[in-house]
Structure 1
Amino acid sequence: MASKKTVDQSAYSNFARTQTNKYKPPKQGSAGKKKLSKAEKEKLKAEEEERKAVEEEEARQKAEEEEKERKEKEKLEEAEKRKLENAEKENRRQEMLALTDLQEGNQNRLNELNNDRRRKAKWARYMRCDGSPDPTIPGEINTYINLRLEDSKHNDIDSVLKQGDLDLSLINELDYLLEDTPESELDIDELERYKSTREDLQQLIQTKLDAATVMILGQATDLCDTETIKLFEFKERGFQFEIPRLLTLSDVGFRVLLTQYDHYSSTCKSYYPRKKKKEEPIEEVKEEVQEQEKKEEEEEKGDEAAEEGAEKEDTEDLMAMLRQMKGEAPPEEEEKVEEVEKAEDVEEFEDPITPEPPEWEDFDEDEDVMDLRANHVLGGVFHFNLMQLPPQPKTVNNWVITRLVDPPVIEYVDYVADTMNPLLNKEGASPSQEKEKAADTQKRDEKPPIAVTLRLPMGCLFTEEPQVARWDDKKKHWRQDGFTDFKYNEETRMFSFKTAYFGTMALLQDAHINMPFQSWELRPHKTNSAVLTIIAAIIEIEIEIKDAMCCLSKPDDKPELEHIKGRWLTPKDLIKTLRKAGINVFPADDSAKYVSIQDKEDWSLFLMTKRRSLKLKMTEFDDAYSEDYAEGTAFKSNLYHLLTEYSTKDARERIMDTNFEFTDCVHQLLSATKVLTYA
């Protein structure tokens, strides 16, 4: 029975499953779904919201952890940056102090040397027993000038020229004192007295030359050349000029006086650079601006402090919450950051204040007036004067009768060529007289321009056709009007022109013709010896430097410079000598107005700022400027320490053995040529 029952139940079970699998109720769409009750819906909604809250909390915690890690990383980077900056500041401070000590030591020794030299020169001047007056002592120099003016017995040309050499030496002595004496040792009264004495000596020279001229003119009858009619030539000087017919029939004389000095240009207002005057703001406006700026700074500081405080509080709360949730202690990195934050910054080395570059006024005269900031007088000046002959001596029997004029003075004759006379028409005669005068009378009365030919003065290098100008004594400037028909032969060095005026004249050349420089190089020879090479726009020169002296060693193909080659001079004297010879590679303070600066040549490039010096990765031929530094470069506070870093052991030893006089000589030449700016 038991067995049968078990079989029956099993069969029923199989049948039931079979029937269940076979039966499928028809699909009735959504209507067939079971609807959820309101309680079930709320339960599901609550579960979904709880899930989203968990996800948002996890996302928030993750974001907080990422933000914490980011801020910790930034703090560590900032701390490391501050650490490096402090190390760099300390290194810079030490290097700058060492450089300052070196410079001050050199300067002190140089000052002692110059002061000792000045004392010896002053003592030597005091002990001089050649009869020459001391131009710095008013009593001596005034007595000398007055006696010379009163002496009418030595007005012959030979005596005047001989005495003029002494006068020029006294002027040069004053010029040297004005240039060499420190400003602190020369008060305003002495400065004005030296300048006044120099002007008196210059006037003395001209007065005596005029007196000698009057004496020569007084003997014109005996000294005249009766064969000279239309042309006169000074063969030794290469100076010749034509004489118009009108002047051959007049009692006049011509004076050609060549001088190697120029006492005129320094009295012209364009001779010295003129700074623009900056308008200072009214004091009240300045105070208001300062108060407003101060108020804005305080507000900015308050806002920044509030933002920093709020940010700090948020960060601290977040970190505390996370540590509390995870049960973690503050990381060691934070302790390191706090230690670095508490560390004080290294004291900064105070750099000297760099003054703003001055602005220069433009030359605002008319186009015929020469700008002496842009042009230099070369070869001195020459006086080409037309003068009235004084009464000539007459021989009566055995007597020579001479009419004396006291005081003897030069009487200049006004001569203006017809082409420059606005009262005359193109034919050279006034309109009312055009048809009245005969042709021969008109030709006799013509005033044509004077043709002048001269050889350029030796010892001066003219690298282009010179310009000629005349001195306007009333307005105190050089003028170019009144000159025509220029001709220049570079091989024979002959220059010719026609002038409508007589007077004081000079040849001038562009002062910046050799700027900007193409390249330059300072090449060491041995200890305390070097060569400075400058390839200028037209000429290439080499300057040998040894200890405190220097000399011109090249070019070799310019005979005009042979008289100065190989002469060892101080930098100041060499600069003056080269400028006087026509080689101006020494930019003035305002030369930037006249020179266009070009790119530099191909060498390693170093970036020098007030805070650091380093070698750059870029080259001269890169398209864009970049301050990326070269690989393996060292950051130094100045060029001196940077170059010693790249120098060999022998070079460093040579640097240490360099004396202060050589350093000063190189410094003067580099400062005068300004090669870093004008090359």
Structure 2
Amino acid sequence: MRLAAEKAEQERIEMERERQRLIQEEKERVERERMEAEEKAKRDIAEQNIRIKELKETRDLFNSFKQKMYGLKLEKRANEEWAQYMKCDGLPNPASLGEMNTYLYLWRSTEEQGVLTEVVKRTQEVLDLFKVLEELIDVPLNSSKQLLENWKQVRNDFRLELQKTLNRCTYLILRKMEDTMDSKDTIQLRYTKTFDHFILCLWTVTSLPQSEDPMPDVESKVPLEGDFPEVGITVKLPDSLFDVPLAIRALLVRYDHLSDLCPLYYPNELPEQETKDMYETCLVEWDVKYEFQKIVDAENERRAQIAARVAAMRPVSSQEDARRGKKDRDKLAAQAAAIEAEMLELQKLQDIPIKPASEMFAEKEDKIQSEVKAQLQVNLRPHELNLRKYMILGGIYYIDLVQQPPQPLILHDLIHMPTELQPIDFHEKYVPPPPPEPGQRRLPEEIEAELKKQEEELEKLALASI
């Protein structure tokens, strides 16, 4: 009994020493962090005042620069409008909706619409007008939203008319293909013209008189393949189109009038917090850090209270415990258990450092940035180009399969015929072979038969190589 009592007393003394050590360490830590926090708070306040003052001065300076630049841009635009008015070159003022619509009306009414020389001249004029119109749309300055939308509508109307003019030019060339196109052999005709803003390539076949002999085999037919090395395109058509009067057009335009019509061309709007300047951002950051600092101070206060409660609890020695009754001993046992629980919690808290306000703010910023990135992420539809990742630089290809227009004939009766390009409605359904089941072993004959069937299915499609 005596040895057990001495051992219990020794354990109590060791526990008391450990408790005092933890209490002392916690007091020193709390005092040290309190002093560091006070010094840091004074330093942060001084730095914040300097930062706010400098950022406000910088913001005001940049705002004054923006106002001056805005005035210079207005003056520059007024001078450009006056210079445009004094040119007297017959071209409209791109900023004037009335003049642009009048020009478009006269363009549509011209008798030479579609003539190649007129198309080349008109393309140059329209692209020159677009340079000014694009600047008006990109930098609207003091223009109203309605005027901006009207400019965009005029731009789209001009683009459509320009494409119609190119289509009309193609139609007129194919309308007299034996006179305008070069013969490659007895039935194949080609046409290629290169200009500054576009390259026009055509390929077609002429209709020969049919003999009474049966149709030749597929191997003896002329392959339906148009090769356009000027634009780097080769188009191969299936044999099912052999008896169809058709033509292939490969048109490369050196401008891009399609990208800004795509929904992905314009980025998503940024959240409000991402549009603030440095001055406003600094104020918001200070307020958020202040709230986080209050959380840190509250946690330090809670730990200090736990340390104070542990310090106020005094364990009873084994001699005193032996002199007490059973009821008092149960009460003291509960008190010892409470002391042990408080000490255990204090040890856990000492192992877990308190995050400073700056680290908590950085974590919040990372979370906000992740949410912003998720909002700015684009949702692509099948076969849609991501214009937030890629940009059109070398122009746009137009690869068209069109009907061969009727050729001039001496007719006694009036026959109504189409006067513009008519596309060929060509559709073929390609069914790829199903993938083999996992672990399935196939004979070489089966693999060869499957490849042959796949090749036959692919030959039904039109192949365009760029």
The aligned length equals: 287
Q: Structure 1 residues 84 and 416 mapped into 2: Cα distance closer, same or farther (>3 Å)?
A: closer
3-state secondary structure, aligned to 2:397: strand
Alpha-carbon shift at residue 88 of structure 1 (Å): 3.9
Q: Which residue of 2 aligns with 1:103?
A: 62
Task: Determine if contact 2:253/2:396 at 8 Å carries over to the other structure.
Answer: yes
Alpha-carbon shift at residue 84 of structure 1 (Å): 5.2
- 1:233 equivalent among 227, 238, 252: 227
Q: Which residue of 2 aligns with 1:159?
A: 118
Q: Which residue of 1 aligns with 2:251?
A: 257
Q: Which residue of 1 aligns with 2:403?
A: 388
Counterparts of 1:157 and 1:404, CA distance in 2: 26
Q: Which residue of 2 aligns with 1:452?
A: 464
Counterparts of 1:187 and 1:271, CA distance in 2: 22
- 2:130 equivalent among 171, 182, 186: 171
Structure 1 stretches of 5 or more lacking a match?
1-66, 279-296, 308-353, 423-443, 455-679
The structure whose RCO (Cα within 8 Å, separation 6+) is larger is 2
Alignment of 1:169-568 (within 5 A): 169-182=128-141, 185-223=142-180, 225=183, 227=185, 228=188, 229-230=222-223, 231-274=225-268, 358=372, 359-360=374-375, 362-394=377-409, 405=416, 408-417=419-428, 419=430, 448-454=460-466
Task: Determine if contact 1:246/1:445 at 8 Å carries over to the other structure.
Answer: no
Task: Determine if contact 1:239/1:452 at 8 Å carries over to the other structure.
Answer: yes
Cα shift readout 1:375-405 (whole Å, capped 9, x = no counterpart): 433422211111112221136xxxx889675
Alpha-carbon shift at residue 202 of structure 1 (Å): 0.6
The residue type equivalent to 1:448 in the other structure is: K
Counterparts of 1:273 and 1:240, CA distance in 2: 35
Q: What is the root-mean-square deviation of aligned Cα atoms in Å?
A: 4.3
Q: Structure 1 residues 82 and 171 mapped into 2: Cα distance closer, same or farther (>3 Å)?
A: closer
Alignment of 1:119-138 (within 5 A): 119-138=78-97
Q: Structure 1 residues 135 and 75 mapped into 2: Cα distance closer, same or farther (>3 Å)?
A: closer
Q: Structure 1 residues 403 and 205 mapped into 2: Cα distance closer, same or farther (>3 Å)?
A: farther
Task: Determine if contact 2:238/2:462 at 8 Å carries over to the other structure.
Answer: yes
Structure whose residues are more often strand by fraction: 1
Counterparts of 2:271 and 2:69, CA distance in 1: 35
Alpha-carbon shift at residue 163 of structure 1 (Å): 0.5
Task: Determine if contact 1:252/1:389 at 8 Å carries over to the other structure.
Answer: yes
Q: Which residue of 2 aligns with 1:24?
A: none
The residue type equivalent to 1:157 in the other structure is: L
Alpha-carbon shift at residue 374 of structure 1 (Å): 3.6
Alpha-carbon shift at residue 79 of structure 1 (Å): 8.3
Counterparts of 1:365 and 1:141, CA distance in 2: 36
Which 4+ runs in 1 deviate beyond 4 A? 73-87, 275-278, 356-359, 361-366, 400-407, 444-447
Cα shift readout 1:535-593 (whole Å, capped 9, x = no counterpart): xxxxxxxxxxxxxxxxxxxxxxxxxxxxxxxxxxxxxxxxxxxxxxxxxxxxxxxxxxx
Percent of pairs with identical residues: 27
Counterparts of 1:402 and 1:218, CA distance in 2: 19
Alpha-carbon shift at residue 174 of structure 1 (Å): 1.5
Structure 2 stretches of 5 or more lacking a match?
1-26, 189-221, 273-290, 302-364, 434-455
Counterparts of 1:382 and 1:154, CA distance in 2: 23
Q: Structure 1 residues 126 and 179 mapped into 2: Cα distance closer, same or farther (>3 Å)?
A: same
Counterparts of 2:82 and 2:51, CA distance in 1: 46
Counterparts of 2:228 and 2:34, CA distance in 1: 88
Q: Which residue of 2 aligns with 1:310?
A: none
Counterparts of 2:462 and 2:167, CA distance in 1: 23
Counterparts of 1:271 and 1:164, CA distance in 2: 24
Alpha-carbon shift at residue 363 of structure 1 (Å): 4.2
The residue type equivalent to 1:111 in the other structure is: Y
Alignment of 1:5-154 (within 5 A): 87-154=46-113
Alpha-carbon shift at residue 107 of structure 1 (Å): 3.4
3-state secondary structure, aligned to 1:369: coil
The residue type equivalent to 2:113 in the other structure is: H
The residue type equivalent to 1:188 in the other structure is: K
Cα shift readout 1:109-132 (whole Å, capped 9, x = no counterpart): 433433332222222222221111
3-state secondary structure, aligned to 2:94: coil
Counterparts of 1:380 and 1:449, CA distance in 2: 26
Cα shift readout 1:143-201 (whole Å, capped 9, x = no counterpart): 1111111223332122112201212222232211111233xx12111011011101100
Q: Structure 1 residues 403 and 215 mapped into 2: Cα distance closer, same or farther (>3 Å)?
A: farther
Task: Determine if contact 2:97/2:151 at 8 Å carries over to the other structure.
Answer: no
Task: Determine if contact 1:157/1:212 at 8 Å carries over to the other structure.
Answer: yes
Counterparts of 1:260 and 1:126, CA distance in 2: 29
Cα shift readout 1:333-381 (whole Å, capped 9, x = no counterpart): xxxxxxxxxxxxxxxxxxxxx9x76452654455433333344334222
Q: Structure 1 residues 226 and 188 mapped into 2: Cα distance closer, same or farther (>3 Å)?
A: same
The residue type equivalent to 2:405 in the other structure is: P
Counterparts of 1:209 and 1:420, CA distance in 2: 36
TM-score (norm 2): 0.51
Counterparts of 2:226 and 2:401, CA distance in 1: 14
TM-score (norm 1): 0.36
The residue type equivalent to 1:451 in the other structure is: L
Task: Determine if contact 1:416/1:447 at 8 Å carries over to the other structure.
Answer: no
Alpha-carbon shift at residue 258 of structure 1 (Å): 1.0
Q: Structure 1 residues 271 and 255 mapped into 2: Cα distance closer, same or farther (>3 Å)?
A: same
Q: Structure 1 residues 75 and 377 mapped into 2: Cα distance closer, same or farther (>3 Å)?
A: closer
Task: Determine if contact 2:95/2:136 at 8 Å carries over to the other structure.
Answer: no
Larger radius of gyration: 1
Q: Structure 1 residues 143 and 80 mapped into 2: Cα distance closer, same or farther (>3 Å)?
A: closer
The residue type equivalent to 1:412 in the other structure is: P
Q: Which residue of 2 aligns with 1:485?
A: none
Counterparts of 2:425 and 2:258, CA distance in 1: 21
Q: Structure 1 residues 277 and 98 mapped into 2: Cα distance closer, same or farther (>3 Å)?
A: closer
3-state secondary structure, aligned to 1:376: coil
